[in-house]
Structure 1
Amino acid sequence: MRPIKKNTDPQLKPFARIKNPFWKIDNWKDILQMAIPIFIQLSFNVIIAQINIIAINHYQNGVYADAVSKAVLTYVTLQFIPTLIASGSLVVCGNLIGQGRTNEIGKVIITGIIINFAITSFIFIFVQVFASQILDLMNAGQFHEKLPNGKTPKVFTISYYRLLNIQLLVLSLSQVWISGLQAIKKNIHVTIGAIASNIVDLIFVTLVLFAFNLDPIWSALSICIAGVVQLIYMLVMNLKLIDYKTHKGRHINFKMAKETFKVGLPIALEMGIWSLCNFATGTAIAHLVIGQGGETSNPWIVLHRSINSISQFSFAFMQAMGTVTAVMVSRKIGEGKINEAYQAGISCWKTAMYASIFFGAFMLSFAYLLLLMFNHTPQQIIPWGFSLMAIISLKLIVDTVNMTLLRACWAVGDLWYPLIISIITMGIGMVGLPMMIVYGFKVYEGMGLILIYLGVVVDPLLRSIIYSTRWIKGTWTKYAKQIS
């Protein structure tokens, strides 16, 4: 790594480099041109996931909904693992492209794939072996009456969870190839791959649950089969669009591995800690019903999963903006243009802020109808469902900094300070407060869920204040370097 030559105005004062009023966005066309294909891809993923949830919620009157919710929420906790190297690869590739070293991207991708698959395989074996103990934390053994397929809820949940985990191995490969395509701004192919795979997912779930009426356990394989379809398409597009021939036989590059791992590790740790804290939040929600509270299900964790799924459509644009921010800022750093990197981060933040207001209003407007689609009763939706959607809309707004300026800090190499802040704020908002509400104050049912949601908002609110201040003041500039 080599330092970037200092610019003529090294002292970044608050808003000193913002050329336009705060309401005006620089390069908004370029930002949306990159963000929309990613958003379409992620939105399609969300839509299919929601259809899957609706299907399982309606299948045999929702008798499997509680078990599937616990398995899926636990699986989601591990989805950060394949991003360990993929996130680092995206930043490193962007930096190299900014320097005009596009022919070296192939080395980054191949090296990243090998490391990512090795790490994910180790964790995959671990969670498969200890699946029962992990799901005990999610209260998977709360209910004992056998399901229609003859299995107890816990046995079904464990089997479903183990099948879902196979997707981790698929993602460990496809995510790195996706990062390569995103770095060269070929997001359209990522979108095509996602759409094709999700169509396969939808067809498979429909055949298992409704056409052949098979054991619903096999519906867990839908995302794995769909993931393989996406994997194949990503491989074909990588071979077509990225230069793997120039360094043929010399793709394993320890220098690139070091840079990718150095960038990817703190990013993955931040995502991992968030996932674990999110799991802790889910654990608290899983204990909102005392005893069995019914024969086979906890209605609050099912409601939580439904709201979480609906809100993913709105958060999809925030995720797209995170990727765009990382690509734009890392490229500017590669070019040695700190001022323009600063402006790119601010512009992406503004865009995300406008989008969050729009999507928040959209979710609130259609909350009742959407929750009805997920097979929730009017008594659940009002007041509980609507109140929770309002809190999620607020969280979406305060999360814009974390999805843009935090990604900008990562792209310039400002990695460890944000991680420390994240550990503290997530520990408070996502673990401490939810556990205190359930186990300390013993607030259960709907009111307990509302208080947990309010507690969770504390995390992004605190982080937003800290990260925005750090970016605007220019504290991050001392970490900005070009990859040598």
Structure 2
Amino acid sequence: MKKGTNNLRNMSLFALTWPIFIEIFLHMLMGNADTLMLSQYSDNSVAAVGVANQIVSLLIVMFGFVATGTAILVAQYLGADRDLDAGGVSVVSLFANLVFGAVLSLAILVFTTPILKMMDLPPELMDEASSYLKIVGGFGFVQALIMTAGAILRSHGFTRDAMYITIGMNILNVIGNYFFIFGPFGFPVLGVDGVAISTTVSRLIGFVVIIIVLVKRAPDALPFRKLTEPLRHLKDLLKIGIPSAGEHLSYNGSQMLITYFITMLGTEALTTRVYATNIMMFIFLFAVAISQGTQIMIGHMIGAGKINEAYHRCLKSLKIAIVISLGMAVLGYLFSEPLLGIFTDNPTIIAVGSTLIMLTIILEPGRSFNLVVINSLRAAGDVKFPVYMGILSMWGVSVTLAYFLGITLGLGLVGVWIAFCADEWLRGIIMLFRWRSKVWVDKTFVRSAS
């Protein structure tokens, strides 16, 4: 396991981050491969899978809380040279997410029809949506295992391996989709069922490969026979994971309510929001990758007792993320019209969308504060404060201002985007003050063995 620890200690932020960037980029590009390829098969199939994937996405958010705790604790223990504890956390987290994933997967299998009826799904889409959800959701525990194993692999510094595995999974998924949708060489055309099988099998293979790579790279990473104090490890995982899950659920809930506000503005506004958001995702992708790489580095530094190094690492990463996000936002605005033109030729959507991307120049630096500093606070063990402030700002600022500016004052989407800016900057500045206060120094879960 020392190999993994030493490997990370000698890595720069860039070396650690660029594979994470590629991996997230591929997720964004390939995440909707099922939908894109099904569009050549049936519009109804696309709609059915789209609705089912909303439920699957919620499952993934739920699985993420164990993976978040795993990434932070493993990094801190490795930094503290407490390799056996790092392995103990890894084993416990895999079992915990396996059990949690199995329970949720079983619930999906049992309640598939009632869940889809709650979403007011048209009767003609019910059969295909139900079939897809039963296969993908029923094997959701595989995704839970992948997220946990991937977090362990990255915390050991092997971000490049995680990237290669993601590439392989995406390739397998696309090949499987091709065979099941288009039926070359006499292959059976299974449509939605085939796409669901392809997705599930590619994930299962991906998980097996992650475990093989992890064991080969760091032989003591999963000490099943030397497991000690599993209840303590589980307790620490939940201390980090549950607040993080609460923050993600709060964010998704606030965004759903804001989307409801936007539906009051009409279909055109809703469509504009979707197109503008798709472009924005690629703008803040850099900050997301930097924040995840920084979280791993700071986790190791905190575990090693290098508080001053951790403090300055966050601030350096923040400056880099702000500069890159600002630059990408300016580029996005300069090319906003041709970019939006890829999606639509509606002049109103292009005009309003360009204005939203212009506001992104203000929004993205504020988002960088939250991504980098909040991940740094989590890596240091300060997990509750960002959650409380996040929930307060999301609902007290973002939701409230979105309705007041967008609906009450009639500013429409521009008002909603101003609300987003206010929320990100308020939280970002508060988080920076929190980091500078160094309150987080006494909140670490792990102390160096030395």
Aligned residue number for residue 377 of structure 1: 345
Aligned counterpart in structure 1 of residue 437 of structure 2, from 459, 473, 478: 473
> Percent of counterpart pairs with the same letter?
20
Aligned residue number for residue 388 of structure 1: 356
Shift of 1:404: 0.9
Q: TM-score, normalised by structure 1?
A: 0.77
Q: Deviations over 1:73-118 (max 9, x none)?
A: 4543442222211111111111111121234432211110111122
Q: Secondary structure at the match of 1:152?
A: helix
Aligned counterpart in structure 2 of residue 98 of structure 1, from 70, 76, 79: 79
* 2:269/2:413 contact within 8 Å kept: yes
**What amino acid maps onto 2:258 in structure 1?**
T
* 1:70/1:157 contact within 8 Å kept: yes
1:358 matched to 2:330: no
Write the distance in 2 (CA, Å) between the matches of 1:127 and 1:286. Answer: 29
Write the distance in 2 (CA, Å) between the matches of 1:248 and 1:413. Answer: 26
Q: Which blocks of at least 5 consecutive residues in structure 1 are unaligned?
A: 1-26, 145-150, 290-297
Shift of 1:269: 2.1
Write the distance in 2 (CA, Å) between the matches of 1:180 and 1:337. Answer: 22
**What amino acid maps onto 1:89 in structure 2?**
T
Higher deviation after alignment, 303-312 or 225-234:
303-312
**What amino acid maps onto 1:37 in structure 2?**
P
Shift of 1:414: 1.2
Q: TM-score, normalised by structure 2?
A: 0.83
Write the distance in 1 (CA, Å) between the matches of 2:153 and 2:84. Answer: 14
Shift of 1:468: 0.9
Q: Secondary structure at the match of 1:482?
A: coil
Aligned residue number for residue 427 of structure 2: 463
**What amino acid maps onto 1:328 in structure 2?**
M
Distance 1:435 1:323, change over 3 A: same
Q: Secondary structure at the match of 1:80?
A: helix
Aligned residue number for residue 192 of structure 1: 164
Aligned residue number for residue 16 of structure 1: none
Aligned residue number for residue 3 of structure 2: none
Aligned counterpart in structure 2 of residue 42 of structure 1, from 16, 19, 24: 24
Shift of 1:55: 4.7
Q: Which blocks of at least 5 consecutive residues in structure 2 are unaligned?
A: 1-8
Q: Secondary structure at the match of 1:259?
A: helix
Q: Secondary structure at the match of 1:81?
A: helix
Q: Deviations over 1:195-252 (max 9, x none)?
A: 0111122233444555677545754555433322321211111121223489442336
**What amino acid maps onto 1:225 in structure 2?**
V
Name the one with the larger helix percent. 2
* 2:64/2:147 contact within 8 Å kept: yes
Q: Secondary structure at the match of 2:210?
A: helix
1:318 matched to 2:313: no
Write the distance in 2 (CA, Å) between the matches of 1:226 and 1:381. Answer: 37
Distance 1:246 1:77, change over 3 A: closer
Name the structure, 1 or 2, with higher relative contact order (CA <8 Å, separation 6+): 1
1:265 matched to 2:242: yes
Write the distance in 1 (CA, Å) between the matches of 2:33 and 2:222. Answer: 44
Aligned residue number for residue 206 of structure 2: 230
Higher deviation after alignment, 44-53 or 335-344:
44-53
Write the distance in 2 (CA, Å) between the matches of 1:188 and 1:426. Answer: 34
**What amino acid maps onto 1:471 in structure 2?**
W
Q: Secondary structure at the match of 1:92?
A: helix
Aligned residue number for residue 103 of structure 2: 122
Q: Deviations over 1:448-469 (max 9, x none)?
A: 4444344333322221011011
Distance 1:370 1:71, change over 3 A: farther
Shift of 1:478: 3.2
Write the distance in 1 (CA, Å) between the matches of 2:139 and 2:361. Answer: 30
Q: Secondary structure at the match of 2:81?
A: coil
Shift of 1:437: 7.3
* 1:425/1:458 contact within 8 Å kept: no
Distance 1:366 1:78, change over 3 A: farther
* 1:167/1:223 contact within 8 Å kept: no
Shift of 1:41: 1.2
Shift of 1:428: 3.0
1:329 matched to 2:264: no
Q: What is the alpha-carbon root mean square deviation over aligned residues?
A: 3.5
